[in-house]
Structure formats: C-alpha cells, structure tokens
Chain A
Amino acid sequence: MTAPIETTGSEAEAQPEAVLAGVERKAIQGRSLGQIAWLRLKRDKVAMAGGILVVLLILMAIVGPFLVGDPNEPHNNLIDPTLSRPKTGIMHSGISADHWFGVDLPAGRDMFSRIVNGAKYSLLISFLATMLAVVLGVFFGVIAGYFGGWVDTLIARAMDIFLAFPLLLFAIALVGVFPNSAFGLEGNGLRVAFLIFVIGFFSWPYIGRIIRGQTLSLREREFVDAARSMGARAPYILFRELLPNLWAPILVYATLMIPTNIIFEASLSFLGVGIIPPTPSWGGMLNEAKEVYEIAPHFMFFPGMAIFITVLAFNLFGDGLRDALDPRSSR
C-alpha cells in the first residue's frame, strides 16, 4: 500500500503516482493457494478435458434418466427369434436412429437408455461411498496424527488390519449374508445403501493414512504451537487450525478415490452381488453380456467403454488436480 502522505499536491503531480501505485498493487498482489492451483490447472489441457468430461457425465447422470426412454422396456420385435440376436444394425447390434447403442439380449432393451440410467447408480454410489470414506478417513487420520501415543497406535493398527482384509471377498460375503429388508428399505434401495456403506467403510484407511501423515508434519508447525500457547483446546486446533490446511490432499485423494470406487461397484455388479437386475448398472450389463458377447459384441462394448471413459475422466482430472495443488509432486 502506497498511500500518499501529502494530500495537498496538485492533480498533475498526483496522477502519475496513482497510476504507478495501481501497477505496483497489481504486480505484488498476493495470490491464494487456491488461485495459484486454479491457474496451473487451467494450463493443464488434459486435466481440464477430464474435468469437463466429469461435469458432462454428472449432468448426464442427473438429467439423463428423464430424457431417455424406459430402460426396462423390451423390444421383442427387434430380436430375431431363431438366431436370438438383433435383426438389424451393424454387426447385428440393433443400432438405429431409435436405439443409438443398439438393444440388449434377450429382451431387446434399449442399451443407450440403460447406459444413461446406469451412470446414475454408478456415480451416486461412488460419490457417496467416497464421502463416507473421506469423513471417516479424515476424522481418524487427524486424531491419530495429532494425538499420537496409544491413540495413534490403535488407529494405525486398525488401518493395517483393514488393509489386510480381503476387501472384495469380504464385500461379496457381506452382500451374501445381508438381509433383504432393513432400516425401512428393501430391494435395490437397500442394496444401494449397503454398497455405499461397504465401499466407504472399507476404503477409509487409504485416505486415513495420508491424512495421518500430513497431520504428523503439520502439528509441529508454529501456528499450531501458537494456537496451543493461546489456550486453544484440541477440538479447536483440529478443526479450525489443522483441517483448513488439509483441504488440498483431501480434495485430491477424494477425486482419485471416486474412479476406484466406480470400478469397485462395477466389479460387484459384474459378479452378481451389486445392483440387482433388471435395474441397469454397467457392471451388471457386462455380466449379462458375458453369456452372449460372441453373437453380440456391442453388448459388452458399450457398458465397458462407459466405465472406461468415466474412470479415465476422473483419473485425468484427479492427476491434474494433484499436480496443480502440489507442485513438488512428480510429473
């Protein structure tokens, strides 16, 4: 700030100074970490492309189901009864102006509609499961890192045990023995809630470890000492001093966790223990396609590509975000 001390100078004298001050102010104006990261991210074309794709996919998952037809409506007239494959389209896929991605087998349901509706479940489950994992991971990670001692030992050991658990097998086992109705939910609603819980609950140690490590180094910093010396208590230090400094790793690892969870949900559905058919899900479609892909390769192509593109978009965006927020990270 270069406020003129002398207020009595003439207009002509003051003006060049004012211009100069304006230039100076602009040049030395501090940029927040967020602004710097945003500038870096904007320059990263690949990450931006991933980010735009992510936004489009989310839009598709939210508004798409209202725009496309009923995903469960059969079109038996399109299926050749003797060869049991679609009559028309390239490679007998049933692709036409009405059915952009063809129709599935044996019922002849519109694949495009099923893909769009599948996006809804895929993204819903992976987002909420990630949120659950982040909340648990940050909570336990910060506590373990800040308090140290036996609290840290207990939480760190618990995380080790979680990581040593055969996660996928365990998820399968839990789905197998879980009741068909509970908490006032049943059928797919319950299954979705259950998948969110299982995926989120078993993946929190991944982010927990990272947050714990970050907290360990943050708690030695002067601002924490300062807060402590002013009489701040643990909850204040944890949530008002430490947490705001952790948003960068939280954001990055949450973004990178979503694609993992999308694949996890798709895997469970592929194994027949995820979303219950006939509700469309990408993994479930591939499971159905497994029986007939020889005569109808489009049936495995579209859901597979849907998973690939979505996961890739999140990975590209997440990688870019990490590079933007942490310039020392390797790239």
Chain B
Amino acid sequence: MEFIIITLIKLAVIAFVLLTALAYIQWVERKVIAHVQVRMGPSRVGPHGLLQPLADVVKLITKEGVMPPHANKFFYLAAPILAVFMALISISVIPFGTEFTVLGHRVMMQLTDLNVGVLFILAVSSMGVYGIALAGWASNNKYSLLGGLRSSAQMISYELPMSLALAAPLLIAGTLSLRGIVDSQAGYNLGFIPKWAIFTGPFPQIFSFIIFMIAAFAETNRIPFDLPEAENELVAGFHVEYSSMSFAAFFMAEYSNMVTVCSVATLLFLGGWHPLWPESMGSNFAAPLILAGAGAICLYHGLNPARPFDRFTLPAFAVIFFGLAGLMAFPPLVPVLTPLFWFLAKLSFLLFVFIWIRATLPRFRYDQLMSFAWKFLFPAALLNLLVTGFLVALVS
C-alpha cells in the first residue's frame, strides 16, 4: 500500500514537472536560437514571452483537428498516441537523484528502478519509430509517405551504432540498472578527476559518448538529421497532415525524446548526479553560488533596465533565484537537492547543445546520412566496443 501511494505521488510529480518542462524547453529553444540569430524571440505573451508555451498549448487544443478524407483512420489516430506514449514512458526508469527519507519512508528519485533500465529505454525508443512510420503511411500523402520511409530507414541505421555505443560503458559498469551504472561512476581519480565513464576506466568512453550523441540527434529527428520532417524538402514530412493535438503529440514526443537521450547520456557517460569536482573541494557550494550569481545579474539588469518592463520582471526573477540559492544552501536539503542540481545541470547542457547545433548546421542528404551511419559510425562503435571489451577483460 505504502509503495503504491508513494509511486502515485511520484508519478504525479514527475508527469507534471516533465510536461511543464517539455513546454518550456521549447521556449528556451526559441529564445536561444533567437539570440544566436540576433533577434528577440518570443516576447509578447507574458514577461519575456514566458507565457508563450501556455498560449501555444491553448491554441493547439482549441484548433480543429482535420483528418484527411483518404487517411487510414485507425492508424492515423493511433500513430501520434503511440509516438507520445513511447516517448513519455521511457522517462519512468530514469533516475535523477539519490535516495532520501521523508516521514520515515525511503524515497528514490526515480519512478521505478528497473534492473534492465538501459534495455527498456532502447526497446521503448525503437517502438516510438512506429509512431512516425505509421503516421507517414496512414496520412495517405506523398510527402508524409516519403517522410515515413526516411524515418524508418534512418532509425534502423542509427539504432545499431547507438546500442553499440551504449554497450561499451555497460561493460565497464557491469550492470544494466541505470542507478547501478551511476553508482559505479562515483569517486575521483587522483583526487579530482571524476570517475565518469568518459574520463576513466580501462578505456575512456569519450568516443562512444560522441557516437552516442550523433546517433541521438538522428534518433530524435533533430538537425542535422531531421530528414523525416525536412520542411524545405518534404514540407513537414510525416506530420504534414496532422493538426491540433495530434500535431502537438508529435511535437511533445520529439522534445520528450530529446530529454530521454540527454538523460541517458548524462547517466551513462557523465556520471549522473555526481559533481564535477569532489565535495572536499566545495562542490556543494556550486549550486547556491551559481544561482545567487544568476540572481545578482538579474538584479543588476533590473536596476539598469534596457526596456521599461525589465524594472519589474528582472528583480522578480532575482528574488526567485536567491530563493532557490537559499534552498540549495539549506543544510537538511543539501544531500537531496545537490545531486538533483548536478543532474539537471548536465542535462540542460546537453539540451543546449541540441539547440545550439540546430541553429548552426545545415541538413544532411538522405544517402549521405545512411552512408555516414553504416560506413563510419557503425564500424567506429564496433571498434570502440571491441577495444573496451578487450581492456575490461585484461584488467579484471
């Protein structure tokens, strides 16, 4: 009974936080790309456009969902549900912090600690491709058919290097449980180099990290691998016939997949919630200091406002940042919040890389993408796995 109640509470919290975060990642993306491109980004709805995600959601819900007359109705409606369901479900096995005790109950910062978590995520993310491929086929549109075909071919080619790249750190960690993998990366070499998979082990996993990230771009259909939707070639690719909430479902699935792959990269390669430098060197103070610094910057710009409304909004942000900093520095909460902070910091950095690349790089061509996967990524991942396996066997 206790287990069920705790799980339900966790479920509610995770679902709420995740769905809000998905909406705001989009706001962050639009703002970041806007600043890269010397423009403002969303700024009309709410201060600094902060209510823009809300407005988008309201807009998408109230739009009419148009179904093309020649679509295959069952698969047309099932595809977005499948896509978003598979994208959201993989979050359930991802841990984002240590354990803590509330009112005598031990609570893990994770919905469920599956002992084959990595396999589960791989399986679920491959199922998500069906959503896209089915959407492309069921819409009965030539552009979406091409998009669907591209996505199935692309996903099949990128599953392999991705799985091979994931297998290498697993050899070092010796477990498939995501929590176990993170625990195996605790500690420091020479007292200050973290024992993350990309820095340590018999063979540092930096190559497999890079291969994984490249494959992750392809898995999530992001530029430079956004061929299934390539709007300049296929108009909108697989979701060209979707509108209203069924379109929003694909959108959510894309961002949710981004969060998943970035979390997996954080957990497997970047040591999860373990800080970049040891506690003895003051890593616990990093979080409050960074947040307090952000608050100070907000306060400074609020006192010297560039635009009239900054005088009111930026000090409010400063108060929020100072509050968070205080929370982070509050001794009873430090063991709970500090790991969470480090996990979110690494996750946000990887998400930023996704956005940054979208603003910079052009798009691959279909055949180049395939030959890149099969002729370069796949052999490289295989070689990396062989070397890692050999060295692990040699050491143990």
A, B co-complexed: no
